[in-house]
């Protein structure tokens, strides 16, 4: 029976911050497609930032952490935050000295001094590395002053101390889930505010419903805690060896790291490379 396969990008399909999967991963994707399985990106990235990966013939996407879901050219779910929610979030976060990047469908906009802030951190988690590379390579993150009013789906946050975020949480957690990374070695606290109206798991459900495929026939691959709802929703969940220790506890399987042919190994073990 065909499977619906959901793949996070940074730290799962590619090394964090890049748009080029290992050759073994590309071979796994192509072979699985030839065998009738369907492939979907399931990512915190917005469509603009994941666009370079569409050359690999994915069947659809769960983008913006579940806020935007599409199959080919058909939009299944589209739920940006309201202007009031965005204004309240940015006002509260900025008052507490939290660095922010807001993500729309067609663009991302970051605080003016975010690049300098990132240059002083130590690395150590896929989200920090993704933003560091995205800024340095100019992958579409523009200054906040250029924000054009387009609908925004989520806010990426970074702060020196957890207390800065905790103050904001009290005000915002009614509407937003604070998805924070659990890796302490990178010199700052980082994560994202995701609207409680959706998550990656909801995106998986929307696509499975569209195809009439039971969730038991879905497989999800991830590496960080922003993949948790996807991992908890799919029939079979896989965490990368380079992933979050906490996510590994929740996943059904652990496969080798993205840099060690992890996807190819897992696809093979799960029978996705076998001709039906």
**Could you tell me the sign of the dihedral formed by the alpha carbons of 240, 245, 250, 253, in that order?**
positive
Residue range 238-269, pLDDT digits in tens:
999 999 999 999 999 999 999 999 999 999 99
Percent of the chain at pLDDT > 90 equals 64
| CB half-sphere exposure, 40, CA atoms < 13 A | 31
Residue range 27-48, pLDDT digits in tens:
999 999 999 999 999 999 899 8
Average pLDDT over residues 209-234: 96
At residue 183, does pLDDT exceed 50?
Answer: no
Residues 6+ apart with CB under 8 A from 267: 28, 31, 32, 273
For residue 125, the model assigns a pLDDT of: 52
**CA 259 from chain center: how many Å?**
18
For residue 199, the model assigns a pLDDT of: 95
For residue 138, the model assigns a pLDDT of: 45
Could you give the angle at the alpha carbon of 17 between the alpha carbons of 15 and 22, nearest 5°?
30
d(CA 144, CA 101) in angstroms, rounded, equals 8
At residue 197, does pLDDT exceed 60?
Answer: yes
Is the model more confident about 124 or about 59?
59
At residue 165, does pLDDT exceed 90?
Answer: no
What integer best gives the mean pLDDT of the chain?
88
d(CA 113, CA 268) in angstroms, rounded, equals 44
Q: How confident is the model at residue 180 (pLDDT cuts 50, 70, 90)?
A: confident
For residue 129, the model assigns a pLDDT of: 56
Quote the strand ranges of the chain, DSSP E: 4-7, 38-42, 60-63, 68-71, 74-78, 99-104, 108-110, 141-143, 152-159, 176-180, 189-195, 218-222, 236-240, 253-255
**CA 245 from chain center: how many Å?**
17
Average pLDDT over residues 75-90: 96
pTM: 0.85
For residue 115, the model assigns a pLDDT of: 59
For residue 140, the model assigns a pLDDT of: 67
Residue range 117-160, pLDDT digits in tens:
555 555 555 555 555 555 545 456 788 899 999 999 999 888 87
Q: Which residues of 19-44 are buried (b: 16+ CB within 10 A; e: fewer)?
A: bebbebbbbbbebbbebebbbbbbbb
For residue 81, the model assigns a pLDDT of: 95
């Amino acid at each position: 029976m065909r499977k619906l396969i959901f793949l996070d990008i940074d730290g799962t399909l590619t090394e964090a911050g890049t748009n080029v999967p290992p050759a073994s991963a590309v071979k796994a994707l192509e072979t699985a497609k030839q065998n009738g399985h369907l492939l979907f990106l399931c990512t915190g990235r917005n469509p603009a930032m994941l666009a370079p990966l569409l050359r690999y013939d994915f069947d659809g996407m769960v983008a913006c952490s579940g806020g935007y879901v599409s199959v080919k050219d058909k939009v299944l779910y589209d739920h940006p935050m309201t202007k009031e929610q965005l204004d309240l979030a940015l006002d509260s976060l900025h008052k507490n000295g939290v660095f922010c990047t807001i993500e729309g469908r067609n663009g991302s906009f970051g605080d003016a001094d975010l690049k300098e802030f990132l240059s002083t951190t130590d690395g150590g988690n896929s989200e920090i590395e993704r933003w560091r590379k995205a800024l340095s390579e100019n992958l579409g993150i523009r200054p906040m002053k250029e924000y054009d009013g387009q609908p925004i789906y989520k806010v990426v946050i970074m702060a020196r101390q957890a207390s800065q975020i905790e103050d904001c949480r009290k005000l915002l957690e009614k509407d937003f889930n604070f998805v924070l990374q659990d890796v302490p070695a990178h010199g700052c606290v980082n994560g994202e505010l995701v609207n409680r109206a959706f998550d990656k798991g909801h995106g998986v459900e929307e696509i499975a419903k569209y195809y009439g495929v039971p969730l038991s026939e879905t497989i999800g691959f991830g590496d960080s805690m922003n993949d948790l709802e996807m991992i908890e929703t799919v029939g079979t969940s896989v965490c990368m060896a380079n992933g979050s220790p906490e996510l590994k506890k929740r996943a059904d399987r652990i496969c080798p790291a993205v840099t060690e042919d992890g996807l190819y190994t897992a696809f093979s073990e799960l029978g996705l490379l076998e001709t039906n």
